[in-house]
């Protein structure tokens, strides 16, 4: 099965592999402007690879680049080790956009997740691939060229035909009488784009990943409005992958009626989900994890 990309380019596993084998990197421009082909022959015994060289080495193992022998198993193992090491040095304080240390960590974390997703894509483990692709994209710190974006969309689209169980959560966001979304005051206006922006940004508190992502130019995954109830509560369907790689369908009940004024809109999140601290949506929304009973 091939896939028609954003710019009309045909995309599939072979097309992408052929591209990456010759110039393996996240952005095409970055390779030609600054990166040199990986050459480990000049490394002295015991000398460690730099972060850049390690990323190139992983790509080399995925695609057989730079004259290295292809080994998806070795690439997977390296990615998992690097993710564990990154978790050990994860910044705890000030996980916001104004903290350079935090955003640099997100860049490293996002890129290695994209690489692990690529490994699973070529192992034909598409649920695992989608899970890690989403983690990488949602770091907000990975700059991908359009062919890479098309490849991810191509792989995620394979989930359409895979079996999915229906997941049921309890609490806010999962019934029409207790929806997530806006808390309107006096003047209200329907804004359907709020749900399409907020739901993909949510993260499950137990490692669940929502398979939906708004990119700058394209949308990844699945998020659709499935009707409304109670006059103003919309039902949005999306896919969810838990931390054991189970693929599920989940529905959120969302109040999209916002304040008709200039103040930040208050958004209640679904129970069991949160928003990453550095989300750009914090510029226009204020998020609440729990209802204020007082």
Residue 132 belongs to some domain of the structure: yes
Residue 97 belongs to some domain of the structure: yes
Provide the pLDDT for residue 184: 67
Number of residues in the chain: 294
Residue where a domain terminates, one of 161, 182, 198: 161
**9 and 147 part of one domain:** yes
Provide the pLDDT for residue 34: 64
Residue 140 belongs to some domain of the structure: yes
Provide the pLDDT for residue 43: 78
Provide the pLDDT for residue 98: 93
**112 and 30 part of one domain:** yes
Domain count, the chain: 2
**188 and 243 part of one domain:** yes
Provide the pLDDT for residue 166: 94
What is the distance of C-alpha 108 from the center of its chain? 14
Using alpha carbons, select from 271, 269, 268, 264 the residue that is nearest to residue 285.
264
Residue 262 belongs to some domain of the structure: yes
Separation CA 250–CA 170 (nearest Å): 12
**175 and 253 part of one domain:** yes
Residue where a domain terminates, one of 131, 161, 191: 161
User: What is the pTM (predicted TM-score) of this model?
Assistant: 0.93
Provide the pLDDT for residue 187: 57
**116 and 177 part of one domain:** no
Grouping H, G, I as helix, E, B as strand and the rest as coil, residue 247 is strand
Grouping H, G, I as helix, E, B as strand and the rest as coil, residue 211 is coil
**125 and 55 part of one domain:** yes
**14 and 152 part of one domain:** yes
Provide the pLDDT for residue 293: 39
Residue 209 belongs to some domain of the structure: yes
Residue 9 belongs to some domain of the structure: yes
Helix axes 72-88, 100-122, angle to 10 degrees: 160
Residue where a domain terminates, one of 142, 161, 180: 161
User: What average pLDDT is seen over the chain?
Assistant: 91
Provide the pLDDT for residue 174: 96
Residue 28 belongs to some domain of the structure: yes
pLDDT less than 70: residues of the chain: 1-2, 28-34, 184-187, 261-262, 290-294
- Residue 23 belongs to domain spanning: 3-161
**112 and 173 part of one domain:** no
Helical ranges in the chain per DSSP H: 13-22, 28-33, 51-63, 72-88, 100-122, 126-137, 146-157, 193-201
pLDDT tens readout for residues 162-186: 999 999 899 999 999 999 999 865 5
Provide the pLDDT for residue 30: 52
**62 and 83 part of one domain:** yes
Separation CA 160–CA 39 (nearest Å): 41
**38 and 95 part of one domain:** yes
Separation CA 129–CA 123 (nearest Å): 9
Provide the pLDDT for residue 277: 92
Residue 111 belongs to some domain of the structure: yes
Provide the pLDDT for residue 186: 56
């Amino acid at each position: 099965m091939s896939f028609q990309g954003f710019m009309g380019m045909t995309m599939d596993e072979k097309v992408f592999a052929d591209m990456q084998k010759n110039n393996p990197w996240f952005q095409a421009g970055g390779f030609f402007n600054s990166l040199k082909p990986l050459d480990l022959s000049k490394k002295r015994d015991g000398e460690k690879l730099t972060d850049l060289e390690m990323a190139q080495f992983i790509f080399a193992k995925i695609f057989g680049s730079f004259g290295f022998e292809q080994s998806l198993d070795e690439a997977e193992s390296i990615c998992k080790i690097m993710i564990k090491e990154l978790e050990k040095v994860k910044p705890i304080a000030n996980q916001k956009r104004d903290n350079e240390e935090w955003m640099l960590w997100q860049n490293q974390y996002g890129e290695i997740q994209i690489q692990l997703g690529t490994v699973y894509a070529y192992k034909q483990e598409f649920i695992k691939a989608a899970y890690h692709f989403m983690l990488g994209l949602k770091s907000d710190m990975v700059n991908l060229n359009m062919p890479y974006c098309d490849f991810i969309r191509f792989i995620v689209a394979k989930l359409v035909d895979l079996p999915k169980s229906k997941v049921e959560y309890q609490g806010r966001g999962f019934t029409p009488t207790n929806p997530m979304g806006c808390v309107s005051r006096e003047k209200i206006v329907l804004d359907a784009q709020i749900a399409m922006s907020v739901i993909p940004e949510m993260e499950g508190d137990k490692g669940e990943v929502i398979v939906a992502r708004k990119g700058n130019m394209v949308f990844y995954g699945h998020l659709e409005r499935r009707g409304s109830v109670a006059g103003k509560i919309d039902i949005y369907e999306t896919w969810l992958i838990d931390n054991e790689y189970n693929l599920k369908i989940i529905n959120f009940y969302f109040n999209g009626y916002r304040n008709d004024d200039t103040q930040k809109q208050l958004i209640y999140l679904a129970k069991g989900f949160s928003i990453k601290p550095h989300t750009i949506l914090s510029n226009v929304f204020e998020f609440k994890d729990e209802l204020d009973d007082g």
